[in-house]
C-alpha cells in the first residue's frame, strides 16, 4: 500500500506539471491581455506595468519564472487585476467557501441518494423502485442552471423560506448560514444525489444475489440485519469509488451555482479572472482544483481497499 501511494504521488506531480504547462500556454495563446479593458494608459506607464509583472519577457521566460515561483516557493504571484493582493490570498479566501458548499452538497447527495437507492434495490420492480429511479432520472437530466432558478422561485420568492443571494458563513451563526446556503447546497447536491441513488441501487441488486446473503437469510437472520450487517457495506462500494470525482466535480461544478447564488467562492474568482485575463489567478485556481481532484481520488482508492478486502495494491 505504501509503495502504491508513493507511486501515485509521483504520478500526481507529473500530472500537475502537465496541467500547469498546458494551462499557462493556453492562457497565453488566448487573444487579449489583462489591461485591454482598462482605459488607455500612457505608453510609459503601460511599459512599467508590463515590466513589473514580466509581461514584456518572452513567453518561455515568463513560464520559467512562473514555474519556479510555484514549485520552489508555492507562490502564484500577485493578481494582475488586484495588485494589492496575491493569488494565494485570494485562493485562501475563496477555498473555505467552496469547500463548505461542496461538503454540504455532498451531505445532501448522500442523504437523498443512498436511502433512495437502497429502497429501490430492495423493492425491485415495484413502485418503490420506479418512483426513486424516475426522480433520479429527472435529477440527472435537469441541469444546475435550470434547477437553481426553479428552487429560488419556489422557496425564496413564493414561500420566502430561504435567502437566495446573500451568503453568510458559519461565523454569522448556524441558522443564518442555513438560510443562505440551503438552496445552493441542495441545487448542487440533487444532481449528484441522482447518480448516488442509481449506483446504490445497482450495488444492492448485485449484493443481495450473493451466496453469503442467501446463507444469512437461511440461518434465520432478520431481513433488516441482513441488509445492515451484510448487504449495506458491499452495496455502497460503487458509491465510495464515485465520491472522489463527485466531490471534485462539486467544487468545479459550483462555478455555475456560485454565480447564480452570488457566493464568493473559488468559482466566482475563476470566472472573473478568466474574463479579466488575470493569468496568475486563473492558473492558481486550475492548479488548486486539479490538486484537490488528485488527492480525493487517492483517498477514495485507499478507502476502497478498506471496504472491499478483495482489492489490493501491490
- Assign 3-class secondary structure to 292-304: HHHHHHHHHHHHH
Joined together, the cell numbers standing for residue 45 give 506607464
Contact between 114 and 198 under an 8 Å Cβ cutoff? The reply is no
DSSP 45: H
Would you state the pLDDT for residue 111? 92
Would you state the pLDDT for residue 40? 64
pTM, to two decimals: 0.77
Would you state the pLDDT for residue 305? 67
The CATH architecture annotation of domain 88-307 reads Orthogonal Bundle (1.10)
Instruction: Label residue 116 exposed, middle or buried (CB < 10 Å: 0-12, 13-18, 19+).
Output: buried
Band of the pLDDT at 125, cuts 50, 70, 90? confident
Q: Which residue has the cell 436511502?
A: 115
Residue 309 scores a pLDDT above 70: no
Would you state the pLDDT for residue 119? 86
For the chain, domain boundaries:
88-307
When pLDDT is averaged across residues 145-171 and rounded to a whole number, the result is 81
Contact between 258 and 101 under an 8 Å Cβ cutoff? The reply is yes
Extract long-range pairs of 178-183: CB within 8 Å, 24+ residues apart.
180/261, 181/100, 181/101, 181/104, 182/155, 183/148, 183/151, 183/152, 183/155, 183/156, 183/261
Instruction: Label residue 49 exposed, middle or buried (CB < 10 Å: 0-12, 13-18, 19+).
Output: middle
Q: What is the mean pLDDT of the chain?
A: 79
Which residues on neighbouring strands pair with residue 223, listed in sequence order?
Answer: none
Alpha-carbon distance of 147 to 74, in angstroms, equals 38
Would you state the pLDDT for residue 42? 67
170: region left, alpha or beta (phi > 0 left; psi from -120 to 50 alpha): alpha
Alpha-carbon distance of 287 to 76, in angstroms, equals 10
When pLDDT is averaged across residues 236-263 and rounded to a whole number, the result is 77
pLDDT tens by residue, 72-119: 888 888 887 777 788 888 888 888 888 888 888 889 999 998 888 888
Would you state the pLDDT for residue 172? 67
Write phi, then psi, for 162 (nearest 5 degrees): -130, 160
pLDDT tens by residue, 236-246: 777 877 877 77
Among residues 263, 118, 121, the alpha carbon closest in space to that of 188 is found at 263
Residue 56 scores a pLDDT above 80: no
Percent of the chain at pLDDT exceeding 90:
1
Joined together, the cell numbers standing for residue 41 give 494608459
Residue 201 scores a pLDDT above 70: yes
Amino acid at each position: 500500500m505504501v509503495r502504491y501511494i508513493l507511486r501515485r504521488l509521483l504520478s500526481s506531480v507529473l500530472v500537475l506539471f502537465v496541467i500547469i504547462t498546458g494551462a499557462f500556454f493556453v492562457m497565453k495563446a488566448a487573444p487579449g491581455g489583462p489591461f485591454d479593458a482598462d482605459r488607455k494608459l500612457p505608453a510609459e506607464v503601460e511599459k512599467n506595468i508590463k515590466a513589473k509583472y514580466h509581461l514584456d519577457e518572452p513567453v518561455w521566460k515568463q513560464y520559467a519564472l512562473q514555474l519556479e515561483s510555484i514549485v520552489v516557493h508555492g507562490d502564484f504571484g500577485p493578481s494582475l487585476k488586484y495588485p494589492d493582493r496575491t493569488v494565494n490570498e485570494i485562493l485562501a479566501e475563496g477555498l473555505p467557501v467552496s469547500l463548505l458548499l461542496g461538503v454540504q452538497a455532498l451531505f445532501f447527495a448522500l442523504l437523498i441518494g443512498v436511502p433512495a437507492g437502497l429502497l429501490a434495490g430492495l423493492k425491485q420492480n415495484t413502485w418503490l423502485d420506479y418512483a426513486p429511479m424516475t426522480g433520479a432520472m429527472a435529477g440527472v437530466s435537469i441541469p444546475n442552471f435550470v434547477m437553481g432558478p426553479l428552487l429560488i422561485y419556489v422557496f425564496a420568492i413564493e414561500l420566502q423560506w430561504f435567502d437566495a443571494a446573500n451568503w453568510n458563513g458559519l461565523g454569522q451563526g448556524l441558522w443564518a448560514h442555513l438560510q443562505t446556503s440551503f438552496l445552493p447546497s441542495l441545487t448542487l447536491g440533487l444532481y449528484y444525489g441522482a447518480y448516488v441513488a442509481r449506483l446504490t441501487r445497482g450495488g444492492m441488486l448485485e449484493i443481495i444475489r450473493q451466496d453469503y446473503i442467501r446463507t444469512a437469510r437461511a440461518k434465520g437472520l432478520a431481513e433488516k440485519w441482513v441488509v445492515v450487517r451484510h448487504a449495506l457495506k458491499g452495496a455502497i462500494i460503487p458509491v465510495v469509488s464515485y465520491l472522489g470525482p463527485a466531490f471534485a466535480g462539486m467544487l468545479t461544478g459550483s462555478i455555475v451555482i456560485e454565480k447564480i447564488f452570488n457566493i464568493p467562492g473559488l468559482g466566482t474568482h475563476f470566472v472573473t479572472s478568466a474574463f479579466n485575463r488575470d493569468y496568475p489567478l486563473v492558473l492558481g485556481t486550475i492548479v488548486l482544483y486539479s490538486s484537490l481532484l488528485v488527492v480525493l481520488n487517492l483517498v477514495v482508492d485507499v478507502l476502497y481497499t478498506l471496504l472491499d478486502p478483495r482489492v489490493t495494491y501491490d
